[in-house]
Amino acid sequence: MAKANMRPDKVEMPAQDPKVRARNFDEVTYGYTEEMAVEEASRCLQCKHRPCVEGCPVNVQIPEFIHLITEGDFEGAYQKILETNVLPAVCGRVCPQETQCESRCVRGIKHEPVGIGRLERFVADYHRAHSNPVAAKVESNGHKVAVIGSGPSGLSCAGDLSKLGYEVVIFESLQTGGGVLSYGIPEFRLPKSIVKEEIKQLELDGVKLETNMVVGRILSIDELLHDYGFEAVYVASGAGLPKFLGIAGENGVGVYSANEYLTRTNLMKAYDDNYDTPIRKSKNVAVIGGGNVAMDAARTALRLGAENVYIVYRRSFAEMPARQEEVHHAQEEGIQFLNLNNPVEINLDEHGEVVGMTLIRMELGEPDSSGRRRPEPIPGSQHDIEVDTVIVSLGTDPNPLIKATTPGLDVTNWGGIIVNDEGKTSRDAVYAGGDAVTGAATVISAMGAGKVAAASIDRYIMSKEAEAEAEAN
């Protein structure tokens, strides 16, 4: 094998100029060309102990696919990723590679790690541009599994089960598949056409997607198991109700949860004049929170035409949960960070419209239970900012619907569904994963949970079948 290219930094990925992209919904980055991809791939050392693979929740065969890129076999590289990951074009864009595969890369010890995410995205985009979708040929094994929710976790579980020959039906509550990939992550980070195509491929492979089906209302899990012939159910219902601060003014006109703001924009396309979805025309926007969703909401507000967009976060950059790349992109685009500030009150006018927000400055004290230094208010440091829109992005609580309608399903005190290592819940034949179990987390960890559950469901159904056969004989 050829010697690795010892260039210290990643091949840069071309991107839209920050000033231009801050005003449009087109994708921020353009992706590698073939030449760039081959050069970046040549930086991989092809380590025998493959630490990067360990860092991937779905075990993408990273050195192998990168090696295929160096040989110019881009389609082969795509097929290699697809062996363990049903959504390469999505993961290549939204995975936090810096804390997963790339954090383990040997090249990253002294210099920049190999741009694994960028390469994954490249091969997925290459595949979409150069091939027509074809159905995977899998013989049916005659067993039916229901998946609740078509977000990353549900899609990953459905994809794996379908490859094993299961007849899989996904029940989706919204009009469009994709879950958070469709309603949450903005177009400029993950074009919806890509989500659509990845789902179309799964449908072509035989997975059935039933939209407008709110399980827990239209059908219960028990009905799916007893009346509709499903032998197992995977619950991937995702994040639920948004959390609020509980401060005065929070129900004012112009206060959104990030979920609502993003759903209106992404799923319901409020930014597109061809759609009827209303959204507030804002001048000055404050987003409360420091996670990836807060960055998405802030950058969306900018693109919807706001002049000033602030992130209000009670800790500092060092503690911020958002991906560094997202913070960096937000800064480039002109998002203003009011770190070490905590909202005290949202100020409303006599019509209930947001006109400002009172903040108090914070300082960091001793580390708390999360290991992060606890922010404490500085007495007498209250000050006002002028805003007409406030977006609350403090995470979500699990959706109560499935729990409320599924007797015997155990949940934690905060409502997350309890599962064992195999993704099995307290109910027989019922498995769960993703945000419904963990609370808000990443796309890829949700996909990983879907994979684990798919394998467990397969073992469960196969062992049941073996028992039935033994009894028959």
What phi and psi values does residue 15 have, to the nearest 5 degrees? -140, 160
**Smallest gap from residue 126 Cβ to other proteins (A):** 30
Q: Which of residues 38-97 bind other proteins (CB under 8 A)?
A: none
**Smallest gap from residue 132 Cβ to other proteins (A):** 25
Complex with other proteins: residue 112 or 260, whichever CB lies closer:
260
**Smallest gap from residue 348 Cβ to other proteins (A):** 8
Q: Starting at the edge strand that comes first in sequence, how are the strands of the sheet with 373-385 ordered?
A: 341-348, 354-367, 373-385
Contact string 344-373 vs other proteins (x = CB under 8 A):
-------xx---------------------
**Smallest gap from residue 174 Cβ to other proteins (A):** 6
Complex with other proteins: residue 212 or 324, whichever CB lies closer:
212
Q: Which of residues 87-146 bind other proteins (CB under 8 A)?
A: none
Residue 218 binding other proteins, by CB under 8 A = yes
Complex with other proteins: residue 61 or 406, whichever CB lies closer:
406
**Smallest gap from residue 278 Cβ to other proteins (A):** 5
**Smallest gap from residue 271 Cβ to other proteins (A):** 12
**Smallest gap from residue 175 Cβ to other proteins (A):** 5
> Residues with Cβ < 8 Å from 322, sequence gap 6 or more?
290, 291, 292, 294, 295
Q: Beta strand 373-385 with 354-367: parallel, antiparallel or unpaired?
A: antiparallel
**DSSP symbol at 1:** -
Q: Which of residues 287-306 bind other proteins (CB under 8 A)?
A: none
In this structure, the number of other CB atoms found within 10 A of the CB of residue 10 comes to: 22
**DSSP symbol at 407:** T
Write out the H or E segment, with its range, that includes residue 224. helix 221-226
Number of residues in contact with other proteins, rule: CB under 8 A? 44
Q: How many Å apart are CA 281 and CA 279, to the nearest integer?
A: 6
Residue 212 binding other proteins, by CB under 8 A = yes
Complex with other proteins: residue 256 or 460, whichever CB lies closer:
256
Q: How many Å apart are CA 336 and CA 356, to the nearest integer?
A: 16
Which parts of 227-323 fold into alpha helices (H)? Answer: 258-262, 292-303
Residue 378 binding other proteins, by CB under 8 A = no
Residue 240 binding other proteins, by CB under 8 A = yes
Q: Which two tokens stand for residue 161?
A: 């089960």
Q: Which stretch binds other proteins (CB under 8 A): 88-96, 198-206, 397-405, 447-455?
A: 397-405
Q: Which stretch binds other proteins (CB under 8 A): 31-39, 239-247, 289-297, 318-326?
A: 239-247
**Smallest gap from residue 309 Cβ to other proteins (A):** 18
> Residues with Cβ < 8 Å from 211, sequence gap 6 or more?
172, 174, 175, 176, 177
Contact string 165-194 vs other proteins (x = CB under 8 A):
--------xxx-------x-----------
Q: Which of residues 241-280 bind other proteins (CB under 8 A)?
A: 241-242, 244, 246, 251-254, 256-257, 259-260, 263-264, 268, 273-280
Closest CA to 164 of 453, 422, 425: 453
**Smallest gap from residue 253 Cβ to other proteins (A):** 5
Q: How many Å apart are CA 342 and CA 315, to the nearest integer?
A: 9
Buried b (16+ CB within 10 A) or exposed e, 142-157: ebbbbbbbbbbbbbbb
State the virtual CA torsion across 448, 449, 454, 459 in degrees, nearest 10: 110
Q: Which stretch binds other proteins (CB under 8 A): 107-115, 187-195, 209-217, 297-305?
A: 209-217
Q: How many Å apart are CA 429 and CA 151, to the nearest integer?
A: 21
Residue 200 binding other proteins, by CB under 8 A = no
Contact string 4-23 vs other proteins (x = CB under 8 A):
--------------------
Which residue among 142, 400, 407, 408 contacts other proteins (CB under 8 A)? 400
Task: Report the Cα 327 to chain-centroid distance in Å.
Answer: 16
Cβ(413)–Cβ(434) under 8 Å?
A: no
Q: Which stretch binds other proteins (CB under 8 A): 16-24, 119-127, 197-205, 240-248?
A: 240-248
**Smallest gap from residue 64 Cβ to other proteins (A):** 38
Beta bridge partners of 146: 169, 233
Cβ(190)–Cβ(296) under 8 Å?
A: no
Binding residues for other proteins, per CB under 8 A?
Answer: 173-175, 183, 211-214, 217-219, 238-242, 244, 246, 251-254, 256-257, 259-260, 263-264, 268, 273-281, 351-352, 396, 399-401
